[in-house]
Structure 1
Amino acid sequence: MVKSRLSSIDILSLITSFNIHPSPTQPHFRLANIYSTSAVASSSSSHQSQSPSSNRHYLLKLGHSQAKLVINIESGRRIHETLYKRNKEKIPNQFCLRLRKFIKGRRLESINQIGLDRVIYFDFGGYFLVMEFFAKGNIILTDENWKILTLLRKHDKGEEDVKYAVGETYPVELRKQFQPISGERLNEALHEFKDQPNTNLLWFLNRYLDYGPDIVLHCLLKAGLTKKTKLAEFLESDEKVKELTVALQEADRIVLQLQENTDQEGFIFLSGSSATTTDGTSPVASSLNETPLDAENNEITTDISKELRKRYDTFHPIIFEQYKKTPYIHFKTYNRAVDEYFSAMEQQRVDNQKHTIEKTVEKRLDKIKQEQKDKVHTLETDVEDNQHFARLIECNLPLVDSAIQTVSTALSQSLPWNEIEDIIDEQRDMGDSIADVIRKFNFNQNLIGVLLSNPLEPEIKPCIVWVDVTKSAYANVEDYFNKKKRANYKKEKTLSVQEKALKIAEEKSKERIMQAHRLKADVTKIRKTFWFEKFNWFITSENYLVVSGRDAQQNELIVRRHLRKGDIYVHADIHGAASCIVKNPNPSQPIPQLSIDEACNYCVCRSKAWDAKLGGTSAWWVYDDQVSKTAPTGEYLPTGSFMVRGKKNYVAHCPLIMGFGVLFRVSDDDVKKHIGERQVRGAGEGGDLESPATLTSEYTESELGSAVSITDDTIFDQKSDMVQHPNSNSGGSSQAASSGSESAPSPDVSEDEQQQIFQQESHTEETVAGGTQDQDGPVSVLDKLKKEYDQMTNAEKKRTFNTKDKKKLKQLMKKGDDESAAIQKVVVMKLEKMDIQRERDADNDKEPEESQKEIAARKKKQKQANKRAKKTKKQKKIASKLNEMDDEDKARMRALLGVHRPTVEEQKSEKAKKVELVQQEQRRRKREEQRLKEFFDRENIPYMTEEERKNVKEIDTLTARPHKDDTILFAVPVCAPYRIMKNYKFHFKLTPGSGKRGKIAKILHQAIQKQCQSSENESEIEALKRLSNDEMVLSLISNAQIASSRKKK
């Protein structure tokens, strides 16, 4: 029989394995919240809220700064930590709200079991949450004096004379306490059953002891007894009682062992003769060391594991004697085993419910079809019979008329029917041919049954035809033909309606089956969430992670904690724009311009420009060292506000087009197949790309910084002149642009070419809190130098060009620029560099002031130097004493101290041995890796070396295009600029609109579920089915509309 609730030994094992005990490295857990969940399954339609007593499922969410924990409780049945996500009720019941009122936010001091009873209580510092796991179960909240404050189920327990109600005292003293086995207690219990010698020993001990039947049977089997042993063997023999007492002491030993063990492992035992692992073998667990399947190394996602889950039979903290030859699955913790077992049972109940509904629907549909067939068959029979009867009367018209005349004459004489029947019988006995055909009478309807036959068809047996005596034979023939006509009409009508009726019935059946399929267990494996999922994020087409904040607090967190050397900070001068960073995994290499463009596009779309539909808005980016939290005047910068110094690199004309797609987390074995899917454009050709980030590094940053407030209430002002920055991909020239207007892009220019880069040199200083700013900046050196070149001819200008300038000139002329325009562009670039170099020289002549950080670092360095000086003086003193001793004295001193100083030769030998061991280990690893690589190459399986595995980043495990043979662990929704999603298998185009995120998420979820049905990868379908609406809502952009949807084949 499948195990359905916890025993006292299970509860003891669970308590010791709960990871809630505080330590120097782990603080106390606090109760974050309490949720009521649905009982077993739910469909897509909303279900009615249940009363507190009927809903027995609750979740306790605990956590502290380092970890989170969810405890699943089903009153009367189970309690355990869970790794599965369950659907919470939208409106919690009254009992759940009462619990929240008293203990939400309180610190969990401990979890304890009362004695060895099936009762657990959580100590929340002044409140006790008591849970009973016997009978119908109960959940009770008491104060520190065990006075009941609220409870799930009110009742009176007659045998204990205790009332369970608010205001009453919880009977702690009535709970069973642990008592070791003793011979005296066992003799007393046996004496009570001396009149029942045929009582089963196992049943008796299970009633007498508090351990449960499994541990008692374990003790009996270890003692050489069986579960069929009778009590009579122990009633007369004291020796037998002593042997039984010794055998039952094994139960005490197990209880004490479970109480002391904090890392209790767990075992799920399977029904059947053998377990099947993922490689198809069938190991049988015949002893403790022969574990057939380790759940920590085999995720229960494959079809074989699903089959194993259907065979779950029971679970225990140790392998009892009766389960030594039973296949089992091993878990490192007992909590994990119990969680897996009950979660599988919930899924199995839902599967059984689906199967029952499908069978019922099919049976009902078959019944409807059969009824329709029977109805048509009956009408066809009526048509044939009526036609046959009419033909028989036609063939025997004189005989039928004579029979009607005979009966009518008798009726005219006012004879009763019974006398007429007697007269006909007499005439028949006398051999009258007319009376012989009259066989039956229907007095109420004036009908007589006439036995007729067809002389033309003598092989057909005669049959009785009912004839109305008030009508002639011809009239009766006409009646039968009319009946035939009506039956034929009904048949045709039934046949015409039957097809429609069956179609309706089939549609209703399909709809009911679809509802059954939508039934799902409220159990979903809690997947691993990436650190960046709490922010707005996406991955660029060149595999760079872009993260932006959802609010001011997250903006602060992103810059303070996640902005590192080599990263890029992106923002826009628009209300509502968030702080956005592009993570650079390799700071020595610049971030490509394409990724920067996509990040700027994302930043604009995540601002108020999206709601206002302000297309073509610009964004800007700066390096990580240009962003600071320190204002030059020492003024306060609010949360989410930062100082940005130097030049801002502008990206213009960012389109307001977003996309929604799905990324798939593949298993570690399949990561190798997807490495390089999002590589840098041009990196595959072996050449290093020169990005605009590299080009802009040639320009000097202005010493006068601009303080930029990144709050939701600030609109950024652009007051400086802008100069177009050369594009790295095209090598384009820099053209002066007006500060007040921007030229519209040409209609024949592509979207990517319209992403022109602008650079702003700020000569003003803005204050964060709306202060004043200096409008009179210095005249640009570039403007002065332009006048000198304006007086030169093109030939004179070309003579001033160096090799690099001439090369740039040729490139521009190849792209279609005429000579004069190309020379002018090169001159502008040359003058910019000269101006920047002069500013650098001027800055180098200035003596920099020592900052507070530099002062602190210098003091720290001086302090460390002082410590080293003291240590050096002590070492010098010891060295001077050693120098005064000769070699004999030193050797004598080492001998007294037991110190052996190796010689130079010994030191060299020891060092050579260590080097040789390291080299041997390296060669062994290399050979092993080579053998593995050759094996996987033969099997056509992708293999990653140890070095390649080290270089794999988190985002490398996510792919937008999974292969047919990939093992997909879970799916992650993402919202990003639409142009990067063209290669996503599932992607949808979003544009500004009025749709809310919840409604859009529901539509997208239905579309994804419909599209994934054609997939050949089962793990992909399962991952998409587990994708929840809440995850999609969190990643979606608000105020949008779905422009198109597509599944890439």
Structure 2
Amino acid sequence: MEPKRELSSIDLRALVTELGRYTGAKVDKAYLYPESLLRLKLRDFDHGRVELLIEVDECKRAHVADAAHVPDAPGRPPNFAKMLRNRLSGADFAGVEQYEFDRILTFEFERGDEDTRIVAELFGQGNVAVLDETGEVVQALSTVRLKSRTVAPGAQYEYPASRLNPLEVSFDAFARHMNDSDTDVVRTLATQLNLGGLYAEEVCSRAGVEKTLGIGEAGEDEYRALHDAIDRIAEQLRSGAVDPRVYEEDGRVVDVTPFPLEEHEGLASEGFDSFNAALDEYFHRFDRDGDGESVEGSGSGTGAGAPEKPDFEAEIAKQKRIIEQQENAIADFEEQAEATRERAELLYANYDLVDEVLSTVRSAREEGVGWDAIAETLEEGAERGIEAAEAVEDVDGSEGTVTVRIDETTVELDATSGVEVNADRLYQEAKRIEGKKAGAREAIESTREELEAVRERRDEWEAADGAPGEEGPNADEDDGDESEPEIDWLARSSIPLRTTDDWYERFRWFRTSDGYLVIGGRNADQNEEIVKKYMDRHDRFLHTQAHGGPVTVLKATGPSEPSEAVEFPDASVEQAAQFAVSYSSDWKDGRGAGDAYMVEPDQVSKTPESGEYLEKGGFAIRGDRTYFEDVPCRVAVGVQCEPVTRVIGGPPAAIRDRVATSIELEPGMYAQNDAAMMVYREFKQRFGDQSFVRKVASADLIQEFLPPGGSDIVE
């Protein structure tokens, strides 16, 4: 089975209770790694060092990690990490909440001068937004501007629209939602009740209800059994009576759950004391076993057929980026070493104060006083205005350390040693950091040699085959009519980006296999706009017979071209009909096929019949219609590499020959954002240039071409 990469809403419900145990911990530092991994280092009296990880890229997770599982600190912090350090340093962790039943966690931090919230969106493309005490976005990893919501600096943060919470729904409401579906039980639980695929199957297993049972065949007994099974899961989560499991298959981890699943009875599993510990172990092994995504894709990068010119400029740019990163690392080492030396010198400059702190703590420990009592005594001393006590910021009994703040600089001290030993330790640490510079300089020299080698290979290639745009000595004298060899885009290690900004891209759209443009509305406003502004007299208007679907217009000519009558090929008309059906309520309701009709533009009117009413985005159709019956609900999504680089989607027959690779979908159980992520992962496995996929075929771009409702990938 495919390893788990994202936490579900049920997983988060179990996790939130456990994360609350760390309330009161103080934030020490924030780090941001590539692939959108955020690390918050905290200190807690009861638990000692606390490492909170939040990841919102390929993996979407949040949990406290064992220190041994935490990656080394990255180099120079990006602006996002610097902003977090400024806002959170010394702040208290005040708790975490799950937003309704969504895959969103809100972490609260309190500090005397300002409070901060971190919202982790663990769905779709993933995002982390930092909010001030008023709910205004200070900064976000990704800016989101949709009609439904905005996440951008300076704007009030907007949560997504509420979803039904299956853990709190009454039986009557549960039955109503089930009866509104016309598919089987498990798909209804997954999509209409928001349980997702795995837990929908688990509920069926626990209830003893056949998963494929049609809703029309299910009665009150089945509904009661299903609702009771959901209630039992909800009670487990409310009480915190979890029994976490990490599941393995063929020696690799494949899932982690807050309680054992009947659906996983055939898998080997390991139990854990807490769900947080299980999550930490699972994702640590997931990365270690090689299931996690690598930062850079692999692939040699030559196409099939005649040899193609290697992308020397891309390789040169890559080597230059590496050199820049290495130079930044050296600067960072110098900065760290200097800051460490300054802390050592600060101890000597404030020798008497530091010595008083350390002597007080050592004397108390020798008399058998506990760490908590020492911390309380120092707090009382600070309240009385004792200078040495006021300098103490933290006492960590688990580590045997005392942290003091001197001149706005914090220094962690070994409470068992004196001032000289602590200062010497800092000087030695500064030397160790400076020692890293030598290795970094050697790495820069090696990279510069590689850069020069790439430039030499480029010059040799151009000398042999001619500069770009010129005839080289090996060029064929007779071009003839032979087509150029087909490029194997999937194997190329670097694919150049070529983008456009066409007027129709804000609508649903595709080009038929004959080259005709088809556009459709994403909402009622766009339906109105397409008919009023973009439908000409020689176009064709199509719509599904089912209520709720896009206005679909098969264009004879573009908006800036003179309108001309054309004889549309049958294939283009059929593909437009399939488009109208696939993006309609037929798909959303899980039907495998639907009916559509086509009319001339002059048959479409906004004037209703007498006594009737037209809602926004609706139209009256008069006269004869051409019908298309039992049109399959199918779409394909593909990655186009020439003449432009982008995601496109639509009827499979119209997409296949225009893309380097495509994936076909049908109505199914996976929510739109989940299906988009599945398609994205599959594309990343197919392409050698994974950075190209991230840029032109991210999950949010793919989602724009998926119909509303659940989907399954057609095998």
Q: TM-score, normalised by structure 1?
A: 0.29
Q: Comparing both chains, which one has the higher relative contact order based on Cα–Cα distances under 8 Å and sequence gaps of 6 or more?
A: 2
Where is the strand percentage greater, Structure 1 or Structure 2? 2
**Structure possessing the higher radius of gyration over alpha carbons:** 1
Q: Choose between structure 1 and 2: higher helix proportion.
A: 1
